[in-house]
Structure formats: C-alpha cells, structure tokens
Amino acid sequence: MRFGFSSALSLMLWLAVLIYWVESFHARLEGLQPLVLPLAAVCTLLPLLFPGQHLLANVASAMFRAHFFISMVAYSLFTLAALHAIIMAVAERRLHRGELTRPLASLPPLLTMESLLFRLITIAFVLLTLALASGLAFSENLFGKALPFDHKTVFSILSWLIFAVLLFGRHVWGWRGRMALRWTLAGFVVLLLAYVGSRFVIEVLLGRAG
C-alpha cells in the first residue's frame, strides 16, 4: 500500500470533512465551509500530482490497521481543530472591528466555538495517546523493527506534549482565547511535520521513495 504525504493529506482532510459534517448536526458551523471544503478539494488532487512511492509495511496486520486508523482519525481531528482555531481567530478580530461577514456571523458564539474546539482537541489527544502508546509498545509487531528515535517520533511526542500542556493549562489556569488558539496551532504544525512534513521532504525535495 502506497501512502505518501499527498495521500496522508487527502485522507486527513476528507476524514475532517466527515467529522465536520457529523458535528454540523449539533452546532451551526457553516462558517467553516469556506475553509474546510476548498482545502479538502485541493488535497484530493494531490495524490494525482504527487503519487508517492512510500510503501506501508505490515498492512495485513490487524494491529497495524488499528494503529493506522487511530492515527489518521487523531490527525483529522487535530486538522479540524486547527481550522476551527483559525476561523475563531478571524471571527474574533472581525468582531472587534465590527466587520463580521455573513459566514462568520452564522457561527455560534465564540464561547461555544471554544467549547467545541476543546472537545475536538480532547478526543484527538486521547486518540494520539493511544497511537503513540501502541507505536511505542508494539513497534516490533507493527513495523517489524524497534521504534526508531527519528524525526517522526520526535515531532509526534513533541506535539503530544504541546497538547498536554494546553489541556493542562485549560483545566488548571483556564486558558482560553488567543492563548489557546496559539497552542492549538503550534501543536498542529508540529504534528503535521511528524509524518506529512517529513514525507514531503523525502519524496518531493529529496526525490526518494523512503
């Protein structure tokens, strides 16, 4: 099974669209459409432009498939949380300036949006914890070798730490607003570098299958 950076982005965004669709039954999230749907459409085309040569090992293993599924859902939830944070930042700025557009005005109140954001982050954090734990504990069975201490592992653990601090800060010190949005985006960028960023460098910049 070939799964390069373009396939990862495409799957992440379409899972994010699916989660967004389910979430839209519980909250008015039309304001996210101009950001979520075009990104998903663009990412659909990426595998055609960058097919990638990276082969996933042990795809027949049920343990690997579970690890892979949990990881991708966690990535997708964090992707949606990051887009959520961007929209919140834009809405907050426009609100202070009195320049709310119709899509932004259709969003729930910022406090409700913030609650939704932390619900996404909490679920994603639990799934990321499970993915990291399974990768660390069963690396030999999942990947056929001991877990290497490479850039993917380092960035994944660093992202986990960032989100752990964010959730701790929210629970203990009541972090919200711009503080929460900055930590959310920082954690997502680091997580993106863990697989997608590293695969992009290897496949596109270095031209290797890896």
- The tens digit of pLDDT for each residue in 19-59 reads 888 887 777 776 777 778 888 888 777 777 666 555 555 65
Per DSSP, helices labelled H in 33-150 are 33-49, 62-97, 102-105, 110-137, 139-143
Q: Number of folded domains in the chain?
A: 1
Domain-embedded: residue 94: yes
Domain-embedded: residue 199: yes
Mean pLDDT of the chain: 80
Domain-embedded: residue 146: yes
- For 3, the token pair is 């799964």
Residue 145: Cβ within 10 Å count: 9
Per-residue pLDDT, averaged over 143-166, amounts to 82
Domain-embedded: residue 53: yes
Domain-embedded: residue 210: no
- The tens digit of pLDDT for each residue in 90-117 reads 888 888 887 777 777 778 888 888 999 9
Domain-embedded: residue 200: yes
pLDDT band at 196 (very low <50, low <70, confident <90, very high): confident
Domain with 94 in it? 5-205
pTM above 0.85, yes or no: no
The C-alpha atoms of residue 16 and residue 12 are separated, in whole angstroms, by: 6
Domain-embedded: residue 65: yes
Domain-embedded: residue 192: yes
pLDDT band at 171 (very low <50, low <70, confident <90, very high): very high
